[in-house]
Amino acid sequence: MGRPARLLRTRRARVRREQRGEHAPDLWNVWKAAPVVLVVGCAGALLVYWWLHGLAVPIAVPGGRARVDSLEVIKTTFTVLAFVGALFAGLYAYRKQLLAEGDASRADAQQFADRYSKAADQLGSDQAAIRLAGVYAMARLGDDWKPQRQTCVDVLCAYLRMPYQPPGAPEHRLGEDQVRKTIVRVIAAHLQPNASPSWSVNDFDFTGAYLEEASFKSAIFSGHTADFAEVTFSGYTWFDEATFSSTAEFEGATFSDGAAFVEAKFSGEAIFRKTKFSKEAWFVGATFSDSTWFDEATFSEDAWFQAVTFGSSARFDEATFSHTAWFFRATFSGIAVFKSAAFAGGIMFDEATFSSTAEFEDVVLGDPSLSAALSRARLRGRVTWGPFTPVPGPSDDGRD
């Protein structure tokens, strides 16, 4: 058989192996490899023998010339060759172990990929029961597949960001509310201090999602992103004792019922710009270590900031308080800005501490007056006053 025919046959055999998923390299025939190994081994042994023979110290022989003990040289040669052989054997065994681990790793990766595809298909099902199974399957995969845990988290968050019709709407899917509540519960459970494995270091993007009766009590968000911007929170929402290690983004969010952030800790920026609190907002005992933004926020009922600690700055520019704003015993360590804020239902600064500048220009006031409210506060920095606009009473027509 000519050389081109042999090459063609070899190539066809390689293609067939690749089609079967086999990628082993081409090996020599044993009857060709054995003579080569034998010749190379003998040549190596001979070289080692002559090298050791040249290093050996001649032994004096009675009645004759000193000579090298060839038997000892041969023994030493075999010892050296055995040692070298053991090294090569160990190297070969190590290589086999690496190959086996690589095969196992690829097999695991393929298994994880298959599980991911199956869970994603379940999440796209028309049946709520199958979608629920997909939620748990994706969460379990996130637990087991650490390198791709963020991907699994992103899928669950993306599901919550998809358009949603609440119960009672014409296009509401049966059981969809239960699927979404389950996703929130699963995520919150993985953010608890004793969660194992924990998802706290991962990023969470809920932008524009619809979250119903969400409870993130004691949750730890220590990743780079905890984004709740423009989220609609339906039902009472709990973030009591939650921890945000980086920026907490709630800009444009809507809390349709009560919102509780009691003793929550914000290590990074806390952004509640243009947030709407339709019911009571509880921030009692919360800690804001960095800048806090409540500018243009709307509080339709009482806003409780009792014993809150504000760090570098606290901005409430153009915020609207329709009922009482409670800042009793609050601590403002940095600048406090209330420019153009509206306090229609009164404000309480009793025993509050302002360590730096406090700005109150163009404030809209109800009852009591701002001066009366601040008279019971500890003002250690400069206070900037400006023209105040009184809120008309029930029988006031607005004329002087």
Taking only the tens of pLDDT, the chain with its 400 residues reads 555 566 556 556 655 555 554 455 555 565 665 676 666 667 766 676 666 666 665 665 566 565 556 666 666 766 776 767 776 777 767 766 776 666 556 666 688 889 999 999 999 999 999 999 999 999 999 999 999 999 999 999 999 999 988 877 777 888 999 999 999 999 999 999 999 999 999 999 999 999 999 999 999 999 999 999 999 999 999 999 999 999 999 999 999 999 999 999 999 999 999 999 999 999 999 999 999 999 999 999 999 999 999 999 999 999 999 999 999 999 999 999 999 999 988 889 999 999 999 999 988 887 656 777 788 889 888 888 766 665 554 444 433 3
Q: Can you give the pLDDT at residue 269?
A: 96
The residues, any chain, with a CB within 8 Å of residue 400's CB and separated by 6 or more, are none
Contact 244, 268 (CB under 8 A): yes
Q: Is the dihedral of CA 271, 273, 278, 279 positive or negative?
A: positive
Q: What is the pLDDT of residue 9?
A: 64
What pLDDT, on a 0 to 100 scale, did the predictor assign at position 394?
Answer: 43
For residues 217 and 197, the answer to whether their CB atoms sit within 8 Å is: no
Q: Give the pLDDT confidence score for residue 79 in this predicted structure.
A: 74
Distance (Å) of CA 11 to CA 3, 18, 29, 62? 12, 11, 17, 69
Residues in the chain: 400
Give the rounded distance of the alpha carbon of 372 from its chain centre: 47
CA within 13 Å, CB half, 74: 4
Instruction: Give the per-residue pLDDT at 370.
Output: 73
Report strand pairing: 237-238 vs 259-260: parallel
Rg (CA), the chain: 38
Angle, in degrees to the nearest 10, between helices 149-161 and 70-123: 10
Q: Which residues of 225-254 are buried (b: 16+ CB within 10 A; e: fewer)?
A: ebbbbbbbbbebbbbbbbbbbbbbbbbbbb
CA dihedral over 8, 12, 15, 17, signed as positive or negative: negative
Query: What type of residue is 363?
Result: V
User: pLDDT at position 2, please?
Assistant: 59
155 phi/psi in degrees, rounded to 5:
-65, -45
pTM of the model: 0.73
- Residue 191, classed as helix, strand or coil, is coil
3-state secondary structure of 315: strand
Beta bridge pairs of residue 271: 249, 293
